[in-house]
Amino acid sequence: ARGRNLAAIPLAQRNERYAAWWQGVTNGQVAYQPVESSELVSAISTLAEVRPQIEKAKQDILQIKAEIERKRREDDEDEDTDRKKRKRNKRRNKRKQKEEEPDLLGKFLS
């Protein structure tokens, strides 16, 4: 069928040629079973019916993933701010201790 439109070759003749090619490819171990055009039509119509549902499911999955990612980022930001607050408080407490220590020592020494 090289160089020729497949639609130009009658379906029965196309199936025979494909069967011969398939026979050579598989060394005759697997029999070729031609697909009836009615089966193709029903499969295509089923796919056409199901495709919108598949697309909607994909969109839902993407939305859920985006929401999970957003929540995770918010949690990470909350952790970062908590960590920064703890560090800041730690530094403040150290400064306060350093300021208070000389007073305590002065009281004990005097």
Q: Are 32 and 23 a contacting pair, CB within 8 Å? A: yes
Q: Are 25 and 38 a contacting pair, CB within 8 Å? A: no
More confident residue, 61 or 12: 61
Determine the Cα–Cα distance for residues 52 and 58; give it in Å rounded to an integer.
Answer: 10
Angle at 105 between CA 101 and CA 108, to 5 degrees: 145
Confidence category of residue 85, pLDDT binned at 50, 70, 90: confident
- On average, the pLDDT of the chain sits at 79
Determine the Cα–Cα distance for residues 70 and 64; give it in Å rounded to an integer.
Answer: 10
The tens digit of pLDDT for each residue in 41-62 reads 888 888 888 988 999 999 999 9
pLDDT of residue 108: 62
Confidence category of residue 22, pLDDT binned at 50, 70, 90: confident
The tens digit of pLDDT for each residue in 98-110 reads 776 666 555 666 5
Supply the pTM of this predicted model: 0.38
